[in-house]
Every structure is written in structure tokens, then in C-alpha cells.
């Protein structure tokens, strides 16, 4: 069963990555200037109080022991406390996460169908007018700063035409859809070009492969070759796109949440960096990385399930 051994190997390869992620997020607070406990307790804390918390967090121990204390806490779901919100970081993340997930789901709902359509059209009309037009769009889209696009779209469709709200995230499902429309579109307009370029290349590669030549030799019409053979073989490149998307989706959500004042993880991240709320920055960075690793893992496992040749 090569697939089982592949899954096993893939899961084992996670261990060093997860350990590495935890070390890096540990170092983020460890290496930050200033005493995080002083920040946590405020300027008027007594030395005894500071000493007590230092002891509780194990900050008087050598660094490697501190790391194990940190890991122990993380495994119990304790990511430390926020200075600004006076709440456990894990609670904050749970509170802010749904907005970002909603935004990311929204962006994907726009991005994936649009990417598929544009990439298929571009690949089928390779180097002809439609392909050139799509190429122009992708080149322009990639060079646009997403926050700039967001500010301008907000001004025109939000302030001038009044079609969409330009801040917050609304009430109820339709409220969210309405409020997050412009943020989702801004992110998509920048993400689609990136993905179309990627998928178009993969499709063209399929179109030039031996099995397509064989189909043509058999006399199959181009349309059937494309739908029955090329599209089916393009499931894997598409799935692979999802893996590429995650990091860009997360990065894009950060700026867009700031522009449109969406109270999501990205806005929390930036606010915490500016407010020197180190444990929130640390916890979020860890959470983002673990999330990304899980998505990549899912994509790899799905790929292995669809294509048994993977990983041999």
C-alpha cells in the first residue's frame, strides 16, 4: 500500500516543521526588547508582583526550560494573555477568527470559479485575442497594491454610489455578505491574476502532452478532448493552487481588514504589533502557521488520494 506509507511519511515530516514553528514563535517573544511581564502588568506593578508572574511563566529558568514551559502551555491551549484586551490570547483568536474565515471563504467563492473560467479561456485561445486580454488583466492585477485598490473601491462603490458599506462586518449572514463584498472583491481582483497565470501554464502543459496527441490522432473533436481529458487531468494543478492560495489569502486579508475596519485576525495582528501586545502576536503567528500547515497537509493528502502515483 504505497499510499498508506506516503501518508505515514507525510505525517512524520510534520513533526520537525511543527517543532520549528513553535521555536520560532517562542523566539518572537523571547527576543523582543523590553520585559513582557512589565508590559503585561503595567508600569505601576510592584517588584513582587513582577517576580511572581516571572515565576509562574518560568521566565527565570534557562531559555530551553522556558521553551518547554511554553510548549506545555500551548498544548494545553494557553497562549498567554493580551495586554490590551485583558483576555487570554486563545479566547481572542476564537472571537476574531470567524470574521477572517468568512472573508477568506468569500474570497475563495469569488476567486476559484473566476480563475477556472479565465484560465480555461486563456489556455484554449492560447496567444489569440482573448488570451492576450486576459494576460493584460493578470499583469495589471498583479502589480496593483491591494490596499490601494481597496481604498479606491471603497471610495467609489461605498462613499460615492453608496452601494456597499465601507467598514465593519454587519449583522447576520446577508449582512456579512453585504459588508464584506468590497473587501472580498479587492482581495480577489489581486489574487485571481496570480492564480490564472499559474493554472493557464498547467493547462497548456496538459494540452501539449502525449495523451492529447493520441486523442487527436484518434480523431476526437477538440471540445471533447478538452472536457473529457484535459479538464479531468487539471484537477491536480487546481488543487495545488489551493495550497498556493493560503499564504496569499492570509496576507491579503491583513491589509484589507485594516482598510475596511473588519474586526478579524489580520486587524488584530496589526493592532497588536503596533500596541506591542507580544503574546497576541506570538499566538497569532503560531496559529497562522499551524493553519497553513494543516491546509497544505490536506491538499497533499487529497492529491495522494486522487493520484496514487504521488509520493512514489
Partner 1 sequence: MIDATAGPAPAPRRPGTAEIAVGGIILLGWLVMALGADWIAPYDPNAIDLRGILGAPSPAHPFGTDQLGRDVLSRVLHGARIDIWMGLVGVLAPLAIGIAVGLVSGYFGGAVDMAMMRLVDITVAFPFFILVIAIVGVLGPGLMNYFIALALVAWVAYARLIRAEVLVLKRAEFVDAARTLGFPHRVILFRHVLPNALGPILIYAWTDALLVILAGASLGFLGLGAQPPTAEWGVMIADGQPYVIQAWWICFFPGLAAVTLGLGLILVSDGLARRHQVDQ
Binding site for partner 1 (CB under 8 A): 13, 16-17, 20-21, 24, 28-29, 31-33, 139-140, 142-149, 151-152, 154-155, 159-160, 246-247, 250-251, 254-255, 258-259, 269-270, 272-274, 276, 278, 281-282, 284-285, 288-289, 292-293, 296
CB closer to partner 1 out of 73 and 285: 285
Buried b (16+ CB within 10 A) or exposed e, 198-216: bbbebbbebbeeeebeebe
Least distance between partner 1 and beta carbon 172 (Å): 28
Would you state the cell numbers that stand for residue 16, as one nine-digit string? Answer: 520537525
- Those residues with Cβ within 8 angstroms of residue 95's Cβ, 6 or more apart along the chain or in another chain: none
Phi/psi at 234 (5° precision): -95, 5
CB closer to partner 1 out of 65 and 155: 155
Least distance between partner 1 and beta carbon 32 (Å): 5
CB closer to partner 1 out of 26 and 229: 26
Least distance between partner 1 and beta carbon 124 (Å): 20
Least distance between partner 1 and beta carbon 159 (Å): 5
How far is the C-alpha of 95 from the C-alpha of 284, rounded, in Å? 12
How far is the C-alpha of 109 from the C-alpha of 9, rounded, in Å? 32
How far is the C-alpha of 272 from the C-alpha of 285, rounded, in Å? 11
CB closer to partner 1 out of 122 and 284: 284
CB closer to partner 1 out of 169 and 278: 278
Place of cell 490522432: 217
Going by the DSSP 8-state scheme, the letter that residue 171 receives in this structure is: S
Least distance between partner 1 and beta carbon 46 (Å): 27
Place of cell 497569532: 284
CB closer to partner 1 out of 146 and 304: 146
CA-nearest of 153, 227, 237, 235 to 190 is 153
Would you state the cell numbers that stand for residue 246, as one nine-digit string? Answer: 493560503
Least distance between partner 1 and beta carbon 16 (Å): 5
Amino acid at each position: 500500500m504505497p499510499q498508506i506509507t506516503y501518508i505515514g511519511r507525510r505525517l512524520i515530516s510534520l513533526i520537525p516543521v511543527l517543532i520549528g514553528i513553535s521555536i520560532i514563535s517562542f523566539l518572537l517573544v523571547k527576543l523582543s526588547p523590553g520585559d513582557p511581564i512589565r508590559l503585561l502588568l503595567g508600569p505601576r506593578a510592584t517588584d513582587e508582583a513582577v517576580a511572581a508572574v516571572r515565576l509562574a511563566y518560568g521566565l527565570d529558568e534557562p531559555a530551553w526550560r522556558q521553551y518547554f514551559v511554553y510548549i506545555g502551555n500551548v498544548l494545553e491551549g494557553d497562549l498567554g494573555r493580551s495586554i490590551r484586551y485583558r483576555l487570554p490570547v486563545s479566547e481572542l483568536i476564537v472571537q476574531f477568527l470567524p470574521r477572517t474565515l468568512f472573508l477568506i471563504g468569500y474570497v475563495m467563492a469569488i476567486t476559484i470559479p473566476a480563475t477556472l473560467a479565465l484560465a480555461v479561456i486563456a489556455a484554449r485561445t492560447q496567444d489569440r485575442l482573448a488570451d492576450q486580454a486576459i494576460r493584460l488583466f493578470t499583469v495589471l492585477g498583479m502589480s496593483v497594491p491591494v490596499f490601494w485598490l481597496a481604498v479606491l473601491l471603497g471610495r467609489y462603490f461605498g462613499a460615492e454610489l453608496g452601494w456597499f458599506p465601507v467598514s465593519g462586518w454587519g449583522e447576520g449572514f446577508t449582512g456579512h455578505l453585504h459588508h464584506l463584498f468590497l473587501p472580498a472583491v479587492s482581495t480577489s481582483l489581486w489574487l485571481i491574476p496570480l492564480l490564472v497565470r499559474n493554472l493557464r501554464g498547467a493547462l497548456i502543459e496538459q494540452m501539449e502532452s502525449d495523451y492529447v496527441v493520441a486523442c487527436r490522432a484518434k480523431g476526437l473533436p477538440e471540445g471533447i478532448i478538452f472536457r473529457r481529458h484535459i479538464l479531468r487531468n487539471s484537477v491536480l494543478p487546481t488543487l495545488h493552487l489551493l495550497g498556493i492560495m493560503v499564504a496569499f489569502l492570509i496576507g491579503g486579508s491583513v491589509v484589507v481588514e485594516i482598510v475596511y475596519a473588519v474586526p478579524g485576525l489580520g486587524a488584530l495582528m496589526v493592532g497588536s504589533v503596533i500596541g506591542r501586545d507580544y503574546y497576541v502576536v506570538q499566538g497569532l503567528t503560531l496559529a497562522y502557521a499551524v493553519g497553513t500547515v494543516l491546509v497544505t497537509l490536506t491538499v497533499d493528502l487529497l492529491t495522494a488520494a486522487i493520484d496514487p502515483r504521488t509520493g512514489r
